[in-house]
Amino acid sequence: MQKRVFLALLLAWVATAPLWSASWAQADTLVGKVVAIADGDTVTVLDRDNRQHRIRLAGIDAPERRQPYYQPSRQHLAKLAFGRHVTVEWHKTDRYKRIVGNVLVAGEDVGLSQVRAGLAWWYRDYAREQSSEDRRRYEAAENEARSQRRGLWQEPFPTEPKRFRRERR
């Protein structure tokens, strides 16, 4: 009898698992205007209530201030997003209290554009937080930028920002 009850409860739990996991994975949305570019993967968005939000672009890692391609990465992001109205689809904040999300300008993912231009790495450490479609697109964009030797891929051995940060400690 206990086995049947346990199995029934287990089956009910398994049947509802897609529902609760889907709600957890749902993104929140922020709409506003980009008013500042901190670097190649961080922007500030001003919302309708005149509140500023620091946004870390999900799925990418751009060169740090003292790395080659820092300025071109920052300038490219500014060209794509500064002064533009954006939609930010996000699901978490990082340890610095920045929103981590995809920044979309007219439906185009600016983080993916940074990777495609060879001005940011696809941040594989956080790939599990991306949809399978985003993982596929970001990986393909980085592979194409590498093969075309765009941006930082012109360097013989570009140093990933996470390694650069670790070595500077």
What tens digit of pLDDT does each residue of 56-97 get? 999 999 999 999 999 999 999 999 999 999 999 999 999 999
28-168 adopts what CATH topology?
A: OB fold (Dihydrolipoamide Acetyltransferase, E2P) (2.40.50)
Domain locations along the chain: 28-168
CA distances from 100 to 56, 95, 111, 126, 138 (A): 5, 10, 11, 11, 16
State how far Cα 1 lies from the chain centre: 50
- Residues acting as catalytic residues: 56, 64, 98
Which pTM was predicted?
0.84
Instruction: List pLDDT tens digits, range 14-25.
Output: 444 333 333 335
Mean residue pLDDT across the chain: 89
